[in-house]
Every structure is written in C-alpha cells, then in structure tokens.
Amino acid sequence: MTLWGGRFSQKLDDLAWALNASLPVDQRMAIQDVEGSIAWAAAIHKAGILTDEEHASISLGLDTVRKEFASGEFIFQPADEDIHTAVERRLSELIGPAAGKLHTGRSRNDQVATDFRLWMLNAIPEIQAAFENLQAALVEQAEAGLPHPSPLPSERGLPSPSGRGAGGEGEPIIMPGYTHLQRAQPILLGHWWLSHYWALKRDVDRLQDLTKRVSVLPLGSGALAGAPFALDREALAKSLGFDEVSQNSLDAVSDRDFAAEYLFVCSMAAVHLSKLAEQVVLYTSAEFGFFELSDAFSTGSSLMPQKKNPDVFELTRGKAGTMIGLLTGLMSTLKGLPSTYDKDLQEDKAPVFAATDTLLAILPVMAAALRTITVKPERMRNAIDSTMMATDLADYLVEKGVPFREAHALAGKVVRAAGEGKVRMEELPLEAYQAISPVFEADVYQVFDPLESINKRNTVGGTSLQSVKNQIRKIKGE
C-alpha cells in the first residue's frame, strides 16, 4: 500500500522506491505521528467529516498502534514508504476501511512538519537536562577549588573525592590564565571552570528561546493551500501542546527555520564543548600536567604501553566539526528551494537526529569525566611566574600617581632587567627598581603575590575569590 498510485499504470522502480522511502529515518517520529493523527481525527470529527462511530473506531485503532510502538511490538512492512504510511496501513489492518477517512484534508506535507516539530519539542528538554548535568559538574569543580569551611563532623575522616577539594580549607587553587596561549595573568581555577559554565548557559538559553519558534502548528495547511472545511486549528494546536498556529499555509509546509536554528544551537554548543575539550587535552599533557583523567575516561595505545589518551575529549572536539557540517548541509538544502513543499525537505530530519544523538552521547561522558578528573594544584601554582604580575607592577605605579602608559613602560623595564640578570622579578634588589624609577618603594615586593593579584580583580565577573563566589551564588539563585 502506498498513499498514492491511482494515476499510475506502472509500479515505482525498486531502486527509485528505495531512494524515495524515508522510513529508516522518520520512524523515530512514530509516536508523534500517531499523536498528530489522534488529534487530527478529533479535529475532523468536530468539523463533521467523521461520524461519532468512525471517530471512536479510529481513535481506538490509533491507540492500539501507539501501544504497539511503545512496546516495540509494531511490525513494519517492506512496503511502508514512510512513518505516515506505516501508521495508516496498520490502522486499516486494525479497523478496516474507516481508516481511509483519517487523511481527509491532510497532506503528508503538513503532517511531517507537525511530527518533526513535536519530536523536537520533546527532544529539547532532554538535551537541556544533559547540559544542566554538565554545568553542575563544572560548578562542583569550581567549588572544589575554593577554600571551604572546615568539614562537618559527619564528613570528617571520609576520603575526599579524587583530586577534589585540593583547594582545601586554606587557599583557593590558582592557575595561569592565558591569552594567545601565553601565560598572561594568574586566575582562580574556579573562575576557569565557570567560564565554561556561562558559555553552556547561553546554549541552554538559546534552546529555550528556540522553543517558541518550534511550537507553531503547521497541521491544517494541507499540501500547501489550507484545509477545505471548517477546522478549529487553535483547538487542534492546543490539543497537541503547540503555543500557536501557523499563519500562512505556503510558509507552514516549507518552513524549516526551526530545524536550521536547532542545528545552529547544537553547533554553537559543540563549539563550546570543543573549546573546553581542547583545554582538557592540553592540560592533561605532560607539558602542562594540570589535570589527570581517571582511568575510566582515558584510553590506551595498542603500541605504546605508557600512553593514557584523552580520546573522549578529542572526540568531543572532533564531533564539533561534524556538527557544523550538519548545519551547513541543511542550510545548503534550504537555499533556493521553490515554494512550497519540495522533496528536498526530506533531508531535514537526519541531521537533526544526528545532532541530537551526538550531544546526548557527548554531554554525559564529559560530565562524568570532569567529575572524576584529578586536579594538580602544585603544577598550576608552579606555572605562575612573577612576570605574570607585571601588570600588577604597572598598577602599583599607577596607584602612586604614574600615568598608566609610563607605568607600563617602567614595568617592562623591570621585566627586561630581571631577564638580563637571569633572576626573577622579586629577586631584583630595591636599588635596581629605584634605578628604573624612584617611585618604587620597599612595598613593591607585595605585588608578586599571585593571590593578591587575583583578589584585586574584584569587579563583577573578575577572578577574585569574592567575585567567583558571587558567580556561584548567582548560578544557584541564592
């Protein structure tokens, strides 16, 4: 059974049939297709197209079909061209000719767009939850790197989770912050973890914002021109959980903006995850040695016995490229299509499903791998050298009234003098400082405490301990 064929004298060529069929992809929308049909049956019943008996029979039949999908008992037939055909074919097996009335006034064009939107509305909260789990892992790590109050009596004596709590009771964990991948200024490790939190928060917000453009009902648009009978589309939308109905049938059957936008949101998120992954890859290398992955999230080499590879993070980085390809692919498909529905649009689902699967595969693994990562506070601390406080040295002069431009040049001279003398900046004697500028006094050496430097950056969003605590408070809605 196909949903067409009356005007054809020959059956479709087998290879053409295989090319045309979309069941392998669109069977993922089975439940949505059945739900859309149940709502459609109610709508056309209300419009006087179905008798009470026909409506009851169709509803009951569709309910059975839904149960068969839910339990995995549904059996597809080789002739099922797509999910819509499969559902209608099964319905007619269950209830007989009355099934043939279900498609009245409806086209697969408005049907598929409806199914797809319903599917996405379902997927978005699942992806958001996966993001929120990873965000929670980032916040936990940020907190673990801050000094915490002495443990509760009940917690005393319990081993701390691997590598966590290294911030301990006293000082926060500090690390070099980089620009151009060159050591720049000291920062709190917690500030670094949270920088990734905020990027992911924007992704979650974007998913939320996208929802209102997904939640527009195309059903009732027919093939392209609308439905030929009095249909209460508002009620139909409500029954399916859509916020509004589409306002132009030509646009409704061809609009795939929501799919492209979804792929952009997924791609942007994948880029964020890739940037995080790249830093973990770098920081777990022997050259940095800031982190060590737990064995459960590292892989070995078949040749080199010593290797411990961050494959999970490399794959996250790699999949961002694939993800961007999905977005680019759909945008290219959409470009230049004549209005309204074109079969090209069948290419919309595979990338959206693939993007969803990719994120749902990456996000939980990233979260678990980050929760079990070992932080090496000593390595981070030792990577901070006093030249990273050169800005603070300039700021010190500024506080004493030197214009910043001049202060910058004087601090630069100190960096050079230390370099030439092969000593650290804090090892230069006061006379050497005063030879550069008489403004330098004995208190200059305080400038080289990295935690001082960090805590001075106390503006909203800065790296100071107070500011990082404020970020966490804000995240937790306190």
Interface region with ligand ARG, contact rule CB under 6 A, candidates 107-115, 365-373, 406-414, 459-467: 107-115
What angle is formed at CA 59 by the lines to CA 55 and CA 63, rounded to 5 degrees?
175
The single-letter DSSP state of residue 462 is S
Query: 116 and 29 in contact (C-beta within 8 Å)?
Result: yes
Q: Determine how many CB atoms are found less than 10 A away from the CB of residue 181.
A: 7
Least distance (Å) between residue 21 CB and ligand ARG: 8
Residue 109 interacts with ligand ARG (CB under 6 A)? yes
At a CB cut-off of 8 Å and minimum separation 6, what does 441 contact?
430
Query: 120 and 207 in contact (C-beta within 8 Å)?
Result: no
- The residue among 345 and 393 lying less far from ligand ARG, judged by its C-beta, is 345
Tokens of 389: 């406080």
Near ligand ARG in 47-66, by CB under 6 A: none
Residue 144 interacts with ligand ARG (CB under 6 A)? no
Residue 271: name the closest of 228, 319, 212 by CA.
319
Residue 254 interacts with ligand ARG (CB under 6 A)? no
Q: How far apart are CA 301 and CA 308, in angstroms?
A: 7
CA 460 to chain CA mean position, Å: 26
DSSP per residue over 417-439, as a string? HHHHHTS-GGGS-HHHHHHH-TT
- Helices 83-95, 30-46: axis angle to 10 degrees equals 60
Produce one character per residue of 230-244: b if its CB has 16 or more CB atoms within 10 Å, e if not: ebebeebbebbebee
Interface region with ligand ARG, contact rule CB under 6 A, candidates 46-54, 106-114, 151-159, 233-241: 106-114
Phi and psi torsions of 251, nearest 5°: -70, -40
At a CB cut-off of 8 Å and minimum separation 6, what does 290 contact?
175, 283, 284, 375, 376, 379, 380, 383
DSSP β-ladder status, 244-245 and 216-217: parallel
Interface region with ligand ARG, contact rule CB under 6 A, candidates 8-16, 104-112, 159-167, 173-181: 104-112
Residues in contact with ligand ARG, shown as a per-residue x/- string from 3 to 42 under the rule CB under 6 A? -------------------x---x----------------
Least distance (Å) between residue 471 CB and ligand ARG: 44
Query: 194 and 468 in contact (C-beta within 8 Å)?
Result: yes
Least distance (Å) between residue 353 CB and ligand ARG: 12
Least distance (Å) between residue 345 CB and ligand ARG: 5
Residue choice 35, 82, 203, 392 for contact with ligand ARG (CB under 6 A): 82
Least distance (Å) between residue 462 CB and ligand ARG: 51
- The residue among 82 and 203 lying less far from ligand ARG, judged by its C-beta, is 82
- The residue among 22 and 215 lying less far from ligand ARG, judged by its C-beta, is 22
Least distance (Å) between residue 346 CB and ligand ARG: 4
Out of 150, 154, 180, 302, the active site residue is 180
- The residue among 225 and 430 lying less far from ligand ARG, judged by its C-beta, is 225
- The residue among 26 and 54 lying less far from ligand ARG, judged by its C-beta, is 26
Residue 108 interacts with ligand ARG (CB under 6 A)? yes
Q: Looking at this protein, which amino acid is placed at residue 237?
A: A
Out of 160, 162, 285, 301, the active site residue is 301
Least distance (Å) between residue 239 CB and ligand ARG: 22
Query: 125 and 219 in contact (C-beta within 8 Å)?
Result: no
191 belongs to the catalytic site: no
Least distance (Å) between residue 388 CB and ligand ARG: 56
Interface region with ligand ARG, contact rule CB under 6 A, candidates 54-62, 105-113, 272-280, 350-358: 105-113
Output the CA–CA distances (angstroms, integers) from residue 38 to 31, 111, 129, 148, 195, in the order listed: 11, 12, 29, 56, 46
Tokens of 116: 């797809």
SS3 label, residue 380: helix
Residue choice 64, 133, 239, 346 for contact with ligand ARG (CB under 6 A): 346
- The residue among 35 and 82 lying less far from ligand ARG, judged by its C-beta, is 82
221 belongs to the catalytic site: no
Active site amino acids: 180, 301
Contacts with ligand ARG by CB under 6 A lie at 22, 26, 82, 108-109, 112, 345-346
